[in-house]
Chains A and B, each alone.
Chain A
Amino acid sequence: MPHTPTPPYTSPARLLALGMVVLAMLWATLTLAQTPGDTAATVAVETAPAPQPPLPATGIRAYDAPNDGGHAITVEWTASGDDGQGRNNVVMYRVLRTPALRGPISPDSVPPGDPSYRLFDSRAYGTAAWRFIENQWDTLADVPMGSTRYENRGGKQRASNDFLPDHIEFRYKVLTINDAGGIAESEVSAPASASGQYLHTGKLLHIGIPVVIFLALVLYFINAAKSGRELYIRPLAGINAVDEAIGRATEMNRPILYVLGLGAADEIATIASLTILSRVTKKVAEHRTELLVPCYDAVVMSIAQETVKQAYLDAGRPDEYKDDIVYFVTQEQFAYVAAVNGTMLRRQTATNFYLGVFFAESLILAETGSIAGSIQISGTDRTTQIPFFVVACDYTLIGEELFAASAYLSREPKLLGTLKAQDYAKAIFLGVLIAGCVGAALQWQWIARTFHLSF
């Protein structure tokens, strides 16, 4: 069989072809290397020109934020001509600030004699050092198109990253950015520094003046009542029922349960309940009926003990007072409910008072009392719990009636005067509400501006 020779890999033709390929590659490489810049990049630059910047924000102004405790500077500007008008392509503004802040830095690592470092210390917020670098800009925030105001509210704590010191001057500028990525820089604002104020003018106008008017009404009606003027007070069924409820307990020879609620001693509703407890205890002491006051809060218990003790003394029956009348149960919400419910059912209390601050336990307490057949008088300022008391109790003091109950029970002129003042204050509020509704309907913006709360 004849042998067919295989063509050698190093034949002259193959070598020639390979050499031509190598030469071609070498030429291409050299040619491209001599072309300035990258060909592909050059093409891209030629086809996508630099984004056209929008019109810049103008009239940039920085000033200390009013009515605050310091550490805040307000920045305002006039919107770009391309924001909502012109090319209408602005997407956001970027607020920058200089001197740039670097910190917090450990006070030990501050180079001695370097004026750019400042040390801040206070008893409240600790000690830390910060470095202020002039002409370097910190980006503070991006705010959306249409904005013309930014409040640079910094942290008050010296060791916080966003700490903004008082009485240090800062300058601001605003970058206007459009949808193509174009950026226009505003002018730099005049320097501004933060500081705290000693009077909140907004609160003074909207709260201080009404409180003074109310106080004047209170004093006027107290004087009127003292001078013997007859003040008509709308009768409250829940208050009128107190005597009846205590009398019933006395006739049945069963105890009266008084629940002060779950509020702490700083809740006005709890304080109002303590004043009512004093009045109720005097009547209870006169009737020699047993009183039970289980407490949820230990501070409230201490106050209630003194209140009840004093009421027994005032009623002329100090010997009837026992330390066990007011007692502490627990500060666990539902454990307290279980204990009070158990007391109701075991002792078969004739009358239950629920006056104060209540939460989810209101219906559990009131419904158990209802099942036990007790007369129940309730009152709370929590609007979410009032419906539960209304359906489960015989009488309910709704909202402000709880605060008025003490005056009703005492019929003392001074206290009745405050009730009358409350009624007149409500009339003023009603007038303002009606004026607001009419003003809104007629689009009188000045009414809205007058009563706009900015805190």
Chain B
Amino acid sequence: MKRQLPLAIIFLCGAFTLFQYFIPHEQSEYLYEFVALDWPPIIGVFALMLGIFSLIRVSWGKIRRKSENWPYAIVTLIGLAGMIATGLPGIGDHNAPAVRWQFNYIVYPVSATMFSILSFFIASAAYRAFRARSFLATVLLVSAVIVMIRFFPLGPLTDPVGTTADWVLNVPNLAAKRAIVIGVGLGIVATALKIVLGIERSYMGRD
């Protein structure tokens, strides 16, 4: 029963979603939009509480055990408590100046800093990828250079380079991309069918 009930629920939900897709009627739409889609946010709220509990437990464990770099766990807990406290009804709300200050002067700058690291990582990853160690790597390097310099003013070479770059993007690149997308689509359908039909149940253990 412990395994049959979840499998039955998965089958029913999967079958409902599948059949709903083929039924355009308003009642079917209503069931999907106003009944089925109501569940994820409700579950999400409860799961978020579990998530916060998990974060507190892990951080508190680090502090208690004096694990390596444990003071950072204190910063995590202070940040969590500060954001919750300033956003609580009665003390503030999600638009309270203290909450906005934390977002504007801590969260956004730190996020932007992390994001900006991407540009340096692109350079280092591109350097590794473009080393012409083999024929295919050389093809990659040449294609990448053509695509990168297509917007440069190159005098009489501007048009040929632009045309070649467009061809690289629209023919071999797009063909490969579409092949991947078709494969992904089939993989999604196959995985969905495996799960709905109970063929794939490894995520529940004892497959």
Inter-chain contact B115/A360, CB cutoff 8 Å = yes
The interface size bin for chain A is: 35 or more
Chain A positions 393-445 with a Cβ under 8 Å from a chain B Cβ: 398-400, 402-404, 406, 410, 412, 414-415, 418-419, 421-422, 425-426, 429
Tally chain B residues at the interface, Cβ within 8 Å.
68
Inter-chain contact A275/B203, CB cutoff 8 Å = yes
Query: Which stretch of A31-39, A65-73, A145-153, A177-185 is in the interface?
Result: A65-73
Cα–Cα distance between A367 and B134 once the two chains are bound (Å):
22
Chain B positions 74-95 with a Cβ under 8 Å from a chain A Cβ: none
Tell me whether A449 is interfacial, beta carbon within 8 Å: no
Cα–Cα distance between A360 and B111 once the two chains are bound (Å):
12
Q: What residue in chain A is nearest B25 (Cβ atoms)? A: A196
Query: Which stretch of A21-29, A108-116, A203-211, A247-255 is in the interface?
Result: A203-211
Inter-chain contact A203/B204, CB cutoff 8 Å = no
Chain A positions 193-213 with a Cβ under 8 Å from a chain B Cβ: 196-200, 203-204, 207-208, 211
Interface string of B40-77 (1 = CB under 8 A from A): 10011001111110110110010000001100100000
Main secondary structure of the interface of A (DSSP, over half): helix
Cα–Cα distance between A279 and B205 once the two chains are bound (Å):
9
Inter-chain contact A198/B121, CB cutoff 8 Å = no
Q: What residue in chain B is nearest A300 (Cβ atoms)? A: B47
Inter-chain contact B187/A381, CB cutoff 8 Å = yes
- Nearest-neighbour CB distance to chain A for B50, whole angstroms, equals 6
Residues of chain B lying within 8 A (CB to CB) of residue A328: 50-52, 54-55
Return the contact of A329 from the options B34, B55, B125 (Cβ within 8 A). B55
Cα–Cα distance between A271 and B182 once the two chains are bound (Å):
19
Chain B positions 111-128 with a Cβ under 8 Å from a chain A Cβ: 111-112, 114-115, 117-118, 121-122, 124-126, 128
Cα–Cα distance between A400 and B112 once the two chains are bound (Å):
32
Tell me whether B12 is interfacial, beta carbon within 8 Å: no
Inter-chain contact B199/A414, CB cutoff 8 Å = yes
Return the contact of B24 from the options A166, A200, A301 (Cβ within 8 A). A200
Find the residue from B55, B61, B110, B183 having the highest chain A CB count within 10 A.
B183
Cα–Cα distance between A311 and B203 once the two chains are bound (Å):
8
Residues of chain B lying within 8 A (CB to CB) of residue A330: 55
- Nearest-neighbour CB distance to chain B for A254, whole angstroms, equals 14
- Nearest-neighbour CB distance to chain B for A19, whole angstroms, equals 82
Tell me whether A89 is interfacial, beta carbon within 8 Å: no
Find the residue from A266, A275, A324, A332 having the highest chain B CB count within 10 A.
A275
Return the contact of A298 from the options B33, B48, B107, B181 (Cβ within 8 A). B48
Residues of chain A lying within 8 A (CB to CB) of residue B21: 203, 207
Residues of chain B lying within 8 A (CB to CB) of residue A390: 129
Inter-chain contact B33/A421, CB cutoff 8 Å = no
Known: A68-B24, A335-B111. A124 touches B30 (CB 8 A): yes
Known: A391-B128, A398-B180, A415-B199. A363 touches B121 (CB 8 A): yes
Tell me whether A278 is interfacial, beta carbon within 8 Å: yes
- Nearest-neighbour CB distance to chain B for A152, whole angstroms, equals 17
Known: A301-B51, A302-B47. A415 touches B200 (CB 8 A): yes
29 sample A-B contacts, Cβ–Cβ < 8 Å, listed by A number: A69-B28, A123-B30, A123-B34, A196-B27, A198-B28, A203-B22, A211-B189, A218-B193, A222-B199, A264-B40, A271-B195, A278-B202, A295-B51, A298-B44, A299-B47, A301-B47, A310-B206, A314-B205, A327-B55, A328-B52, A360-B118, A383-B181, A400-B180, A400-B184, A403-B191, A404-B187, A415-B199, A418-B199, A426-B182
Measured CB to CB, the residues of A under 8 A from B are: 67-71, 122-124, 156, 166, 196-200, 203-204, 207-208, 211, 214-215, 218, 222, 264, 266, 268, 271-272, 274-275, 277-279, 295, 297-299, 301-303, 306-307, 310-311, 313-314, 323-324, 326-330, 332-335, 337-338, 342, 346, 360, 363-364, 366-368, 381, 383, 386, 388, 390-392, 398-400, 402-404, 406, 410, 412, 414-415, 418-419, 421-422, 425-426, 429
